[in-house]
Structure 1
């Protein structure tokens, strides 16, 4: 069944089609995480679902579009998981700590999703040979965290520093935490997250006269 056409010419996706697309994306996540980029093909993804490769081609223009949709979905899921936990906090340092802890919790629950992202980020290229993802794909994350740092500086809670540099540094530390945990699954991920949170809270908060940090 082909998508119905709206009056404005746009395709309207049915519930059944959306469910099939979601199923294919889930299969792609599992396949990338288990087999890696080089060994993941549309045929292998289809085999895991129990469908023909042609069914995937019906829903996605090709492997590249499937990967892009996968990345967008996982980013939305991470945002939905992390943001509410940050919004419960009333201080910049509280939000920073909640951010790091929430990402670690998501890592613990959804390692396959992050492994799949890593495979795609490290390997997917544009037709001219450039990496499809990388620093540019993290720009919204950098910008959002940098804005939180700026607000904390405006209230006097945080010391003066370059918000963008600190934001990038925090993200690199989070990515490193995941890479280490994946390599050593017995590593205490929650304790690692708490140490990172303490580190960056101390690195960013303003100090009272006499060198005592704010609570």
Structure 2
């Protein structure tokens, strides 16, 4: 009678991949848990100990996965912004006319301003802190580039649907819409959030056509 076959031990490569996936999943869990605290307190007022105190994880666990506050916060914002990008990519994929895309994009900007203002405040806080914190710069540049690329996909699709072309290059287009959003976020934080959302939606819908030009 043949001896039963022994199960093969996992290769070092597959074990390393499994460990990496497990660590990434835990980092994502920590990011989810930390985002609320970060959005409430901002970069300067948040420490790893503060994040641990308001999460299911111990300070030791947080410190095991993230060596510093800067590393954790950069990871959290990168994680959040990656989710944001997919929402706008859905608008690009689902819109069949230029007007439909324009309305959907403006409405989504206003919606995220109303529903997720603390996260956006954290992003602008982090971006400003990068002027003085070298450890943040690589992550900020990466996140900013991803947001610019997202905006450019929207404008290229909008121009294509309108049988037009972008009026400006990618950095200029991003600066226009980013400035519009940051201004609305300031109004929402310091003034009337509802009015800020309405103003942002109307302004974005009005500005978008100026960012494309009809073919000669």
Q: How far does the alpha carbon of each residue in 1:145-177 deviate from its partner, in whole angstroms, 9 at most, with x for none?
A: 335544555676336622422332122212222
**Cα 1:142–1:94 shift into 2, 3 Å:** farther
Superposition CA RMSD, Å: 3.4
Structure 2 runs not aligned, ≥5 long: 1-9
Q: Which has the higher contact order (CA 8 A, sep 6+)?
A: 2
**1:54 Cα deviation after fit:** 0.9
**Cα 1:83–1:52 shift into 2, 3 Å:** same
* 1:10 alignment counterpart: 16
* 1:95 alignment counterpart: 101
Once the two structures are superposed, the pairs formed by residues 23-42 of structure 1 within 5 Å of their partners are: 23-42=29-48
TM-score (norm. length: structure 2): 0.73
* 1:213 alignment counterpart: none
Once the two structures are superposed, the pairs formed by residues 26-175 of structure 1 within 5 Å of their partners are: 26-124=32-130, 125-127=133-135, 131-132=137-138, 137-150=143-156, 153=159, 157-158=163-164, 161-164=167-170, 165-175=172-182
TM-score (norm. length: structure 1): 0.74
* 1:177 alignment counterpart: 184
**Cα 1:16–1:206 shift into 2, 3 Å:** closer
More helix by share: 2
User: What is the alpha-carbon distance in structure 2 between the residues aligned to residue 41 and residue 166 of structure 1?
Assistant: 35
**1:192 Cα deviation after fit:** 1.4
**Cα 1:149–1:93 shift into 2, 3 Å:** farther
Structure 1 runs not aligned, ≥5 long: 209-215
**Cα 1:36–1:190 shift into 2, 3 Å:** closer
Moved more, 21-30 or 40-49: 21-30
**1:73 Cα deviation after fit:** 1.0
User: What is the alpha-carbon distance in structure 2 between the residues aligned to residue 106 and residue 50 of structure 1?
Assistant: 27
Are the aligned partners of 2:156 and 2:165 in contact in 1 as well (CA < 8 Å)?
Answer: no
**Cα 1:11–1:147 shift into 2, 3 Å:** closer
User: What is the alpha-carbon distance in structure 2 between the residues aligned to residue 136 and residue 59 of structure 1?
Assistant: 20
**1:71 Cα deviation after fit:** 1.6
* 2:6 alignment counterpart: none
Look at both structures and tell me which one has the larger radius of gyration over its CA atoms.
Answer: 2
**1:200 Cα deviation after fit:** 1.5
1:196 counterpart = 2:203 = yes
**Cα 1:120–1:148 shift into 2, 3 Å:** closer
